[in-house]
Amino acid sequence: MYMLQVGINGYGTIGKRVADAVRAQPDMEVVGVAKTRPNFEAEGAVENGYPLYAAIEERAGRFDDAGIELAGMVEELVEAADVIVDACPSGIGADNKSLYDEYDTPALYQGGEDASVADTSFNARANYDEAVGAQHVRVVSCNTTGLSRLVAPLREEYGVEKVRATLVRRGGDPAQTGRGPINDIVPNPVSLPSHHGPDVKTIFPDLAIDTLGLKVPATLMHMHSINVSLEAEPDAEEVRELLERQSRIFVIPEHMDIDGAGKLKEFAMDRGRPRGDFWENCVWGESVSMEGNDLYLFQAIHQESDVVPENVDAIRAVTNAADAEESIETTNDALGIGF
């Protein structure tokens, strides 16, 4: 079987997870990863056997100084790859676009980029087909991914009148010591509704959705406080079962006695998840409730990893290597999604 050659440009929080997820697939392999500077993650790439490319020619010497062997420059990686996953910091992806075009390599971008960078925004559950054969595809952000996975089945099953969501966002990832706030709850953005709603509309253009965003001093996961006014009035139990049937939604059972993101991550680590990752939305089963046609629930979203299986699927979409159902199933099986 031909193995898709995947290059990853930007080997940080997202990039390193995508690399490991790609390697776990039966139909792809990591042709190499690119980074700008040496640190423990660069060393980790080498340790893991990923050929490491320098993203910035002038700084390539720094890897030498740190005793890290390079496989070449990023251009070579782009040339060698069937698909490039760009996982550079927000905004850099757009800068890199011309490089990918130069070598005619299809590219995936992350949610930190503007939607306009790509031909289409992507969520496997909701709009896989739109990315089939596309040259530039943006895998939407962690929050938008989490919202899309929730909205998709609700729309199909009941119809959605309106979504109202408050996104209580972690201030920074666990390793980002420079980010705050330390002791505050910060409306962000202050002006409403927030830009998160329009981002969800890149997946569901005709969805009515208003979002509000806040930042708090926590690092583990985002928390979504969700209201969906449905076009029907199912009972809560039925909705819960619908969500339980979604492969990338984990409905937390009451008896697990999990009260927040700390215990959730502990659970993931106990189950041997790499890096304690949650590729799934985590919905508190107990929270799923209906008041009239208003659905309410809480879901925790692991910002560092929920987009990872989406990137894998998007690779298959742009290369036309599988249809949605087949790709999702392959990805899930290879990673071990679901508990």
Residue 93 known to bind ligand: no
Residue 197 known to bind ligand: yes
Candidate residues 120, 123, 303, 311; the one interacting with ligand NAD per rule CB under 6 A: 303
Nearer to a copy of itself, 129 or 208 (CB): 208
Is residue 15 close enough to count as binding ligand NAD by CB under 6 A?
A: yes
DSSP string across 72-83:
EEHHHHHHH-SE
What are residue 187's DSSP bridge partners? 214
Binding span for a copy of itself by CB under 8 A among 128-136, 139-147, 279-287, 330-338: 279-287
Give the C-alpha separation, 58 to 61, whole Å. 7
Is residue 35 close enough to count as binding ligand NAD by CB under 6 A?
A: yes
Q: Which residues contact 295 (CB under 8 A, 6 or more apart)?
A: 154, 226, 227, 228, 229, 230, 236, 239, 288, 289
* Contact partner, 166, from a copy of itself, ligand NAD, none, Cβ < 5-8 Å per class: a copy of itself
CB of 269 vs a copy of itself, minimal distance in Å: 4
Residue 196 known to bind ligand: yes
Is residue 50 close enough to count as binding a copy of itself by CB under 8 A?
A: no
- Which residues, numbered 169-228, are part of the site for a copy of itself (CB under 8 A)? 170-172, 174-188, 190-193, 210, 212, 214-223, 225, 227
Nearer to ligand NAD, 2 or 40 (CB): 40
DSSP string across 87-151:
--STTHHHHHHHHHHHTT--EEE-TTS-GGGSSEEE-HHHHHHHHTT-SEEEEPPHHHHHHHHHH
Q: The dihedral of CA 61, 66, 69, 75: what is its sign? A: negative
Is residue 85 close enough to count as binding ligand NAD by CB under 6 A?
A: no
Is residue 84 close enough to count as binding ligand NAD by CB under 6 A?
A: no
Kindly report the number of other CB atoms within 10 A of residue 182's CB atom: 7
Give the C-alpha separation, 290 to 82, whole Å. 47
Nearer to ligand NAD, 27 or 304 (CB): 304
The DSSP symbol for 195 reads T
The DSSP symbol for 39 reads S
Is residue 279 close enough to count as binding ligand NAD by CB under 6 A?
A: no
Residue pair 23/3 in contact (Cβ under 8 Å)? The answer is no
Helix boundaries (H) for the chain: 13-23, 40-47, 60-65, 74-80, 92-102, 124-131, 142-158, 196-201, 236-244, 261-270, 308-318, 324-335
The DSSP symbol for 255 reads G
Nearer to ligand NAD, 26 or 49 (CB): 49
Candidate residues 90, 129, 161, 231; the one interacting with ligand NAD per rule CB under 6 A: 90
Catalytic residue status for 142: yes
- Which residues, numbered 65-84, are part of the site for a copy of itself (CB under 8 A)? 66-67
Residue 287 known to bind ligand: no
Residue 141 known to bind ligand: yes
Binding span for ligand NAD by CB under 6 A among 82-90, 116-124, 263-271, 321-329: 82-90
Closest of 19, 14, 55 to residue 36, by C-alpha:
55
Which stretches of the chain bind ligand NAD, using CB under 6 A? 9-15, 34-37, 41, 55, 87-90, 92, 110-113, 141-142, 173, 303-304, 307
Residues designated as active site:
142
